Amino acid sequence: MPVFFEKKQLVTPGELLAEGDYLPGENTYNQENKIFASRIGLADTENKKVNVVALRAFYLPKPGDIVIGTIVEVGFNGWTVDIKSPYTALLRASDVLSRPFKPQTDELSQVLNAGELIVAKVASYDRAHDPQLTVSEPGLGKITRGQIMRVTPTKIPRVIGKKGSMISMIKQVTGCQIILGVNGVVLVTGKNLEDEELAMTAIQKIEAESHTSGLTDRITQLLKDEKAKQEEKKIE
């Protein structure tokens, strides 16, 4: 029952990964007791499970995910939202208005208009239906300030770090509020432009250099240096 790859080896779709007593994990598939990769990524085993950490993928909705989306259309009783996935999401009017929705009196484009951004939670999704969003929880709803950036959805866990170590460190140093959409959209809100820019550079660096060790230390260093530069400028 051999394994045909080294730990964290870069594999391409169709590459034979293991044979025999193994289970197909993420981004792999099983055919005649052989396990093949289905995406380009880094292969790894976890007990008897063969996984490929994809270097390129897109977002698939999962109930409970926090996502950031753009309103693309105002409909009769809700909005359609682009959440950077193969499926556009729906947000119902009755979910946003905390009272019963009356089509005669309520003008939906007054509440949320096309082009506006929202933080929302995926309420439901399955193969047969488009994802439904909800904003009826604290912290969710329309985005009024801050900056938006995109990262590859597969890199979001790296930005969060182990038990949120990476993201909480960035938050602490820059004093910014950061919301990570699982769909790869990130919202950075800070007191001033410099802080926001700093947080964004750090996140960009994480995306570019994910899969390297000692990244947390390098990010800490980067933030420290930049912060010091900012202080200097202020004194001048």
Partner 1 sequence: MSEKPEKLIDKKGIRLDGRKADELRPLKIEVGVLPNADGSAYIEHGKNKILVGVFGPREMHPKHLSQSDRMVIRCRYHMAPFSVQERKSPAPSRREVELSKVIRESLEPSVFVDLYPRSGIDVFIEVLQADGGTRCASITAASLAIADAGIPLRDLVVACAAGKIDDTVVLDLYDAEDKLGVADVPVAYMPNLNAVTLLQMDGVLTPKEFENAMNMAIDGCKKIYPIQKEALRAKYMAAREELKEEVEE
- Do residues 108 and 81 make contact, with C-beta atoms less than 8 angstroms apart? no
Is 3 among the residues that bind partner 1 (CB under 8 A)? no
Q: Residue 211 Cβ, how far from partner 1 at the closest point, in Å?
A: 5
Which residues within the stretch 147-176 sit at the binding site for partner 1 (CB under 8 A)?
Answer: none
Q: How many residues bind partner 1 (CB under 8 A)?
A: 32
* 82 contact partners, CB below 8 Å, separation of at least 6: 69, 70, 71, 72, 88, 89
C-alpha closest to that of 22 among 10, 9, 13, 31:
31
- The residue among 15 and 95 lying less far from partner 1, judged by its C-beta, is 15
- Do residues 5 and 43 make contact, with C-beta atoms less than 8 angstroms apart? yes
Q: Which of 18, 24, 25, 27 binds partner 1 (CB under 8 A)?
A: 27
- Do residues 45 and 20 make contact, with C-beta atoms less than 8 angstroms apart? no
Q: Which of 2, 14, 115, 138 binds partner 1 (CB under 8 A)?
A: 14
Compute the 3-state secondary structure of the chain and give helix, strand, coil in percent, each to the nearest 5.
Answer: 30, 35, 40
Q: Which of 2, 76, 100, 128 binds partner 1 (CB under 8 A)?
A: 128
Q: Among the candidate windows 113-121, 188-196, 199-207, 211-219, which touches partner 1 by CB under 8 A?
A: 211-219
CA distance 70 to 166: 27
Q: Residue 15 Cβ, how far from partner 1 at the closest point, in Å?
A: 7
Contacting residues toward partner 1, per CB under 8 A: 8, 10, 12-16, 27, 29, 31, 36, 38-40, 42, 54-58, 60, 86-88, 127-128, 209-214
